[in-house]
Structure 1
Amino acid sequence: MRPDSRRIAVLITDGESQDKVLLPSKNLKHNDIEVYAIGVQGARESELKVIASDNDHVYFLKDFKSLNGIIRNITIDLSKGSNNLGK
């Protein structure tokens, strides 16, 4: 990976985690990995907020068909962030 590139993870889930999410989430953030959390139907919003880098990176959808509706928002967010590299 290029040193100046953004490191991004996107989690898409439709249920509650069977594992503990706090420590792995902290590790990702500690390693400068920007995390987006997308929950569908049965996902727990509180877990998504723990996993995501911040609340602007949390999406909650009623079904998987709704993913198309947020792709533009995520793409815009990712392109904005890439302009801030090295600043």
Structure 2
Amino acid sequence: MRADSKKIAVLITDGKSTDDVILPSQKVKDAGIEIFAIGVKDANKEQLSYIASDPEEIHMYSVSDFSSLLDIADFLTINICKSSNSLAL
């Protein structure tokens, strides 16, 4: 990874993790990586909330099925592009 680039991760899940999500998610965020979390169908919204960066309004999404990912693609792309164009600190 380039030192001067913004770090962004996009997680797509359709279930509930059996592993701890809080500590690993926080470590990723502490490393300066911005996380967008997308839940499909029966994804656990509480876990998505822990995983996603703040504010959740632009970092957390839920869709009813995988084909519905197309419904959020434009909004997600805009938010990722806006984020990548901001200054990496």
* TM-score, L = length of structure 2: 0.90
The 1:51–1:86 alpha-carbon spacing in structure 2 relative to 1, beyond 3 Å, is closer
Segments ≥4 residues shifted beyond 3 Å: none
**Within the alignment, does 1:59 sit opposite 2:61 as a pair?**
yes
The 2-side partners of 1:28 and 1:86 are apart by 15
Query: Is the partner of 2:17 in helix, strand or coil?
Result: coil
The 2-side partners of 1:82 and 1:34 are apart by 10
If asked which structure has higher relative contact order (CA below 8 Å, sep 6+), I would say 2
Unaligned runs of 5+ in 2: none
Preserved contact between residue 39 and residue 62 of structure 2 (Cα < 8 Å): yes
Question: Match of 1:76?
Answer: 78
| CA shift for structure 1 position 69 | 1.2
Letter in 2 for 1:5: S
Query: Is the partner of 1:26 in helix, strand or coil?
Result: helix
The 1-side partners of 2:78 and 2:11 are apart by 18
Letter in 1 for 2:86: N
| CA shift for structure 1 position 83 | 2.6
The 1-side partners of 2:18 and 2:11 are apart by 14
* TM-score, L = length of structure 1: 0.92
